[in-house]
Chains A and B, each alone.
Chain A
């Protein structure tokens, strides 16, 4: 019974972090139709900024928003300086649809190298600001610690804020309209280029949050070759694809589903099968419902 509950809690916590990463992939996809593999690098860079803040001010609570803002600024800068030029120059020919994606892979490598140059390739440590020891009920320890509680609450809060922005504000209206039909939006007077940059900035902020939370949830170690971030990218991407790549709600559902499935495989089948499961899940979804699990109904809503 406790094992079931703990497996569920582990899955939800992991899934909520994946959902931030998935959201950031979806935001970029919606605004520029690019699958942004550099997102892992952006999240990592933001987390290093967070590390610098912790180093100086000794506060994770300052570092988290700063990392998000840094992520937003860097992502907006990449869109402004790099992607705009790239999309303009690669608008024709067979390479048009893959060139930007390959370019984001290049960016990923570049960002990791830059991190290595400034911070070195050794692990740096971000201490978890809250206890990672689970609450106890009787003699049993729950897989829910103060830190994990904060992570889940923070993600829920961010998803609610994003949903509010998308559904209830003018900016959200512009974001949704531009994603649906950029040319018509332009005719209707929306500054589509600016909206794209804002989309990237929101994605950067979500990625920064994902990096900070993931690092604090794990062993706190951070390095340019961090496996954690590669997994964050892979699982975030898989979750986004499961959710249809176009929908924020889809990304969250995909991420929670993935987190839960992986947690149950880990507990009841075996750790060596986790990666296989994740990628089999991706392939099965692509084969059976290439538009994602919920693309038909709510897929384009959010």
Chain B
């Protein structure tokens, strides 16, 4: 089942917080141009796994493969250079920056000038390129009209679009979306589904999501976490019928 050219693969991931075992021997594989869903009840360890993948939490043990190459779990600051981008559950826009500036922040790796020479204002062409690039991705999420608004004046669905544009602008190979549909109305959810599907032409996507209809619509593969363990994985259809999953979600001893 494990292919060597998966975009991202982790195995044997263990994380404890004090005496609490948050993740226990967890594995996950994201194929190229695949949309993978990570689901499970509250407190199952989804966000912990997400955080481990992007360096916010350091695993006690586990292996990390990127494009089939084993390497250390990445540091947060190296993430973008490795081709991984993520959005946050709380969206995490910079409230006092404009929408365009927010997206430009995500494009820093394309800045050719060093910090200092950029500071001296030598590289205005570089600036212009970053701006254009940011604008392009704002258009991709239908938010170019918001470019000059301050981020803290946006509606919630709009902040979600901008957050995705900021992740996309770094042109990642793997995009991690933390509850992209959370708090959205049904129209916005439909738009989000469409967007995610269109993304797969360029990248792999990993989603943590509570909205089952979103997960079932866009994901080709699901992993189900419960109490820090992977209790099921496979196609959406297969997982949906898995007795262990039903038990975990309904909280009964059906299995």
Contact = CB atoms under 8 A, between A and B. Distances in A.
Given A188-B108, A198-B116, A176 B94 contact: yes
Interface string B213-240: 0000000000000000000000000000
Given A165-B121, A188-B166, A173 B109 contact: no
A187 B96 contact: no
A252 interface: no
Interface residues of B, number: 34
Contacts of B170: 188-189
Contact of A198 (B81, B92, B101, B119): B119
Contacts, number: 93
A187 B127 CA distance: 21
Interface in A161-214: 164-165, 168-174, 176-177, 180-181, 183-195, 198
Contacts of A300: 95-96
Nearest to B111: A170
Majority SS of interface residues in chain A? Answer: helix
B96 A174 contact: no
A182 to B, nearest CB: 10
A164 B121 contact: yes
Contact of B105 (A177, A193, A301): A177
Contacts of A193: 77
Contacts of B94: 176-177, 180-181, 184-185
A189 B106 contact: yes
Contacts of B116: 171, 198
B106, B115, B126, B127 — most chain A CB neighbours (10 Å): B115
B207 interface: no
Interface in B99-122: 101, 104-106, 108-109, 111, 113, 115-116, 118-119, 121
Interface of B: 54, 56, 76-77, 79-81, 85-86, 88, 92, 94-97, 101, 104-106, 108-109, 111, 113, 115-116, 118-119, 121, 123, 126-127, 130, 166, 170
Given A170-B130, A174-B115, A180-B94, 18 more contacts: A170-B113, A170-B118, A170-B119, A170-B127, A174-B108, A177-B94, A177-B97, A177-B101, A181-B92, A184-B88, A184-B94, A187-B88, A189-B106, A189-B108, A190-B77, A190-B105, A191-B115, A195-B115
